[in-house]
């Protein structure tokens, strides 16, 4: 009987931690008050079905970029539940910098939602949101519309990115690779190289900011699951960047009713622009996307290959006579592998790039 009570006690003690991974995004907003004084607002998006606001923190610790860490209290929950059962939770506090300068305000949290398609081993990784402000000029960072968290298979997913700007400044928004902190209490932002853009998983479609619509648009998800996405919002005054803010969210792709669309050829989310050809779709085991800048390329060709199962991925550059000119292979089994081929010294003409794993291969042509 004693052992039964022990088990029940253990379950009670561990229950709150079972719902720990419920953070679906976040961003930081800095509003100028006067002098070197700012109101710092941390906006977190919480999955109400996986822990909810009742289990979330009453205060969080925010790094101010000048060596100080402040405790910021929760001030609001809501105003409403967003699609995907997500609630907006906000923390807010005032802070005065001792002197003018450029500062990174940041918040790190290990309660990011897991089971993410485009971030292997997402469980235990840290959501790291940040905003960089220049306090040498009076300025408030842009306030962006709420993020979105639900999409349909083969439907257009979009997020409004038209900001509210208190100052007469220019704004640019672009998709970004995931940020992670360097080691330490207040880490410096770094790129998470394990992250793939949502459209890199299938190597089809586009994931980019549409400047005309003022929306971040994914055309179009093809596989159900959770996908992380991020963007940076830069603010410019007289040609000088005076703030930069990082926003992160997680979209759940489900099969739901609605108009389906044709998925366009793959376009790099990071670089944009033309590619030499569309990814091969005849192989069920391996696919590839090729980017060349410009087209025809004068220098390097970037090749990204995707294996259905984790495997050694091999890339080969082949001339039209079938000779293998260059070969690169991943050192360990991978799902995705990216490398560059230097084509500076090759004669002009057509070349073939082959991507292969142990089971299959695909080829595409590039023009030098």
Domain holding 296, by residue range, is: 286-367
Answer whether residue 278 shows pLDDT above 80: no
Tens of pLDDT, residues 206-230: 999 988 888 999 999 999 999 999 9
Say whether 164 sits in a helix, a strand or coil.
strand
Q: Can you read off the two tokens belonging to residue 129?
A: 């949101």
Cα separation of 204 and 118, whole Å? 14
> What mean pLDDT is predicted for residues 45-73?
83
Query: Are residue 250 and residue 310 in the same domain, yes or no?
Result: no
Q: What angle do CA 84, 88, 94 make, to 5 degrees?
A: 160
**Is 9 part of any domain?**
no
The CATH number covering residue 298 comes to 2.60.40.1930
Distances (CA, A) of 195 to 43, 81, 178, 179, 201: 23, 28, 6, 9, 10
Query: Are residue 222 and residue 304 in the same domain, yes or no?
Result: no
How far out from the chain centre does Cα 61 lie? 23
**Is 277 part of any domain?**
no
Query: Are residue 156 and residue 111 in the same domain, yes or no?
Result: yes
Query: Are residue 125 and residue 212 in the same domain, yes or no?
Result: yes
Q: Which of 232, 254, 276 is the last residue of a domain?
A: 254
% of the chain with per-residue pLDDT over 70: 83
Query: Are residue 250 and residue 291 in the same domain, yes or no?
Result: no
* Residue pair 271/293 in contact by the 8 Å Cβ criterion: yes
**Is 12 part of any domain?**
no
Diameter of the chain measured on Cα atoms:
81
Query: Are residue 121 and residue 246 in the same domain, yes or no?
Result: yes
**Is 262 part of any domain?**
no
Tens of pLDDT, residues 329-342: 988 888 888 888 88
**Is 7 part of any domain?**
no
In terms of Cα–Cα distance, which of 128, 220, 249, 110 is closest to 181?
128
Query: Are residue 296 and residue 154 in the same domain, yes or no?
Result: no
Work out how many domains the chain is built from and give that number. Answer: 2
Tens of pLDDT, residues 285-331: 666 655 544 445 667 788 888 887 888 988 988 887 788 899 999 88
């Amino acid at each position: 009987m004693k052992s039964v009570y022990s088990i029940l006690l253990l379950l009670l003690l561990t229950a709150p931690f079972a719902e720990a991974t419920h953070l679906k995004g976040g961003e930081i907003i800095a509003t100028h008050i006067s002098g070197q004084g700012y109101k710092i607002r941390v906006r977190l998006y919480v999955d109400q079905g996986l822990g909810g606001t009742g289990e979330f923190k009453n205060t969080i610790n925010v790094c101010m970029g000048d060596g100080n860490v402040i405790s910021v209290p929760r001030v609001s929950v809501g105003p409403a539940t967003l699609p995907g059962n997500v609630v907006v939770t906000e923390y807010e506090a005032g802070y005065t910098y001792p002197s003018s300068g450029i500062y990174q305000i940041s918040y790190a949290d290990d309660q990011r939602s897991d089971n993410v398609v485009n971030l292997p081993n997402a469980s235990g990784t840290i959501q790291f949101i940040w905003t960089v402000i220049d306090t040498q000029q009076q300025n408030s960072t842009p306030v962006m519309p709420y993020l979105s968290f639900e999409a349909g298979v083969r439907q257009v997913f979009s997020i409004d990115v038209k900001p509210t700007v208190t100052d007469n400044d220019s704004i640019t928004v672009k998709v970004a690779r995931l940020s992670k902190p360097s080691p330490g209490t207040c880490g410096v932002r770094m790129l998470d190289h394990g992250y793939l853009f949502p459209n890199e998983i299938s190597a089809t479609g586009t994931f980019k900011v549409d400047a005309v619509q003022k929306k971040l648009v994914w055309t179009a998800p093809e596989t159900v699951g959770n996908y992380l996405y991020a963007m940076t919002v830069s603010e410019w005054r007289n040609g000088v960047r005076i703030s930069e803010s990082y926003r992160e969210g997680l979209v759940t792709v489900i099969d739901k009713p609605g108009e389906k669309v044709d998925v366009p050829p793959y376009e790099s989310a990071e670089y944009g622009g033309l590619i030499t050809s569309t990814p091969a779709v005849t192989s069920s085991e391996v696919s590839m996307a090729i980017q060349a800048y410009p087209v025809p390329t004068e220098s390097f060709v970037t090749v990204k290959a995707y294996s259905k199962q984790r495997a050694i991925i091999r890339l080969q550059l082949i001339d039209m006579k079938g000779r293998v000119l260059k070969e690169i292979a991943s050192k360990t089994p991978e799902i995705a592998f990216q490398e560059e081929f230097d084509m500076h010294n090759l004669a002009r003409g057509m070349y073939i790039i082959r991507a292969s794993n142990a089971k299959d291969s695909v080829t595409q042509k590039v023009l030098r």
